[in-house]
Structure 1
């Protein structure tokens, strides 16, 4: 009898252990950088953080912002003429000459693959007119993206005590940059040859320094799609990269890494994210989110875009959607107009609000009354004009008849 009891208890413990392993989340990895973050690229949800708002000099990961502004403000086939100052910039460069003419696309390859500071300054002058004015554009765009701990003073990342960013801000910049297919193509290219120019008749050969996309490297990571390294003695190492797996894109960012362990740390963070979290679509664009009801008014409220959220794998909770109170009965609108917002909470934590559009046309009674009154007014004016004209005609005819009778009597 005791043997059977021991056997059944063993089975129960085994099943419990299996269930625990299925449902338990992996332990968070440790990273060597002083500021680090793992972000879901679709929603901006932070999946891992370490001093994510601490600002440090980011070195050449600065070039992600330079690339973003370039792609947003130029065309790839635009011609850039290299100024007198560009060839003398400090740090890494591809060897541009004064007066050299090169396409924006090729300068981007030189900046992102070989981390050419001369390419970064040439692009900055082309976009902003000067390095100082370009830095102003960089900081303006950073604020627009939600960066709160960033200040740029140059386009390349050369060390400056006032040139800083945090891992979270760096991830926000990459989150916007990775939306550009041109960047994904350039950043994932293993090697590239810049075609011959007026001052480089043989062209320039480039190799990608990002080892996560190098199949011959021990750090190769198949889901990786883009990345940018950075290093100066004062700034130490920095790195930002994106990886995509089964439609789920993640961004890992590291700033101020004194041990140069960012490749291993990036792979560990990406695996942690993919293994423990799912990206779930809550609403597709045009889905009915709710129905607004007031008196006899019923209006279908539709999602104005696709809406996603991130949850831990095997989690059973679902987000709760609540309409933000607003009366619509006295407002006129057309089908497809944005008319309300809904708040989304997941595990009692607020997510970003979702905008709702109307599924029907709606015109208020006052508007209808106004239209009818206006129509009646227009009609009354028309009738008055017609009556006046007819009256004048009758009067003229009467005067003419009277005059004829007087003439006849004479």
Structure 2
């Protein structure tokens, strides 16, 4: 009997610990200094480590340059490369001053091969100079995307003490850019033929997971970065049919470690979360209060246990089994229309007709009475004369 009781106690303790583990999935331990994992569609933050700390992005800057160019210019624009590109350091696609290249091709060379000369050529084409580009890109990122802790002074990410961002802001920028079909296509390109005036070759993505050097089938796009001050930086997107994920990692000492950390984040996200689409007008209820979604949106929910809580202000909180908030969504109050009472024109018209009929009948009665009185007077008058 004692052995049976001990066995039952062990099973009970083991089951309870497994339940707690399911409700509170263990977050990955990373060596990278700052990181964030986000649901690409809902924007929910699924994991964060120093995600709001000021960091140097290196070539992840080119993600911002690309989406800024795509939304403010024509991809088929012919760009004339200026002399400034000869002074650029780092990775290049070897443009020549005076060379004519389409904006699309420059963006491809910038994102796929990380060409700093292509990035500078884009900035000068868009705004006339690097200084004007600086003001324009920061205005764009703040007003269009909503970043709060980012300031860029160049289009390529070469080190400058005043050129910084955060993992969270870079996640917001990449999520925004991934809504653009042309950006998604280029961001996920592994290789392309490059035919330039001085460089005829095949350019390849530098992202090891994207091009298959580090196998991970779920990866859909990626961008690498490195300068001495930023160390290794990495932006990667992945999806598994249930959720689309964005991972930003900033300042890792070694390439091997930053890819291992990225893989840890994706495995954590895929194992524990799913994305749910909510259509505009979909209703939610909290007690006697009713709310609706004001627009089409996505919500991130835990796979194991999920709870939706709505406060009186209409804020919907998605919580996991332990009560941790995964995402908040602002809803609109549902105002139910009262049944309309149809007002027909029959009654007023009928009442008008009845009034007219009554008046006409009353007039006829007066006329008949008057004729009757007149007729009696005439009879009296005739009888009086006959006497």
- Is the Cα contact below 8 Å between 2:210 and 2:221 reproduced in 1? yes
The 5-angstrom pairing of residues 52-91 of structure 1 reads 52-91=51-90
Which residue number corresponds to residue 221 of structure 1? 216
With the length of structure 2 as denominator, give the TM-score of the two structures: 0.77
> Secondary structure of 1:239's partner?
strand
Tell me the TM-score normalised to structure 1 length: 0.73
CA RMSD, aligned part only?
2.9
Q: Deviation of residue 92 (structure 1)?
A: 0.9
What is the Cα deviation at residue 184 of structure 1?
A: 1.7
Match of 1:192, SS?
Answer: strand
Query: In structure 2, what is the equivalent of residue 318 of structure 1?
Result: 308
Could you report, residue by residue, the CA deviation over 1:274-307 in whole angstroms, capped at 9, with x for unpaired residues?
11222234x312324479x9xxxxxx97533223
Deviation at 1:249, TM superposition (A): 1.3
Aligned residues: 332
SS of the residue corresponding to residue 286 of structure 1 reads coil
- Does the 8 Å contact 1:304/1:357 carry over to 2? no
Match of 2:259 in 1: 263
Structure 1 residue 86: deviation in Å?
1.4
Cα 1:352–1:287 change in 2 (3 A) is: closer
How far residue 115 of structure 1 moved from its aligned partner, in angstroms, is 0.5
The Cα offsets for residues 206-230 of structure 1, whole Å up to 9 and x where unpaired, read as: 1110111122x1x222111111111
Relative to structure 1, the CA distance from residue 12 to residue 57 in structure 2 (aligned partners, 3 Å threshold; closer, same or farther) is closer
Change (3 A) 1:288 1:111: same
Question: Which residue number corresponds to residue 230 of structure 2?
Answer: 235
* Local SS of the residue matching 1:229: strand
- When structure 1 is superposed on structure 2, of 59-68 and 347-356 the one drifting more is 347-356
Q: 1:352 to 1:316 in 2, by over 3 A?
A: closer
Contact map agreement 1:302 1:359 (CA 8 A) in 2: no
- Within-5 A mapping of 1:10-409: 12=12, 15-16=15-16, 19=19, 23-144=22-143, 145-194=145-194, 196-197=195-196, 199-200=197-198, 203-215=200-212, 217=213, 219-260=214-255, 261-281=257-277, 283-289=278-284, 302-320=292-310, 322=312, 324=313, 342-347=314-319, 351-355=328-332
Q: Could you say what secondary structure the match of 1:264 adopts?
A: helix
Return 5+ residue gaps in structure 1 as ranges: 294-299, 325-341, 364-410
Higher Rg:
2
CA contact (8 A) 1:32 1:259 kept: no
1:34, distance to aligned residue in structure 2 (A): 2.0
* CA displacement at 1:135 relative to structure 2: 1.3
For the Cα contact (< 8 Å) 1:37–1:168, is it kept in 2? yes
- Structure 2 counterpart SS, 1:238: strand
- When residues 228 and 355 of structure 1 are mapped into structure 2, their CA distance, relative to the original with a 3 A threshold, is farther
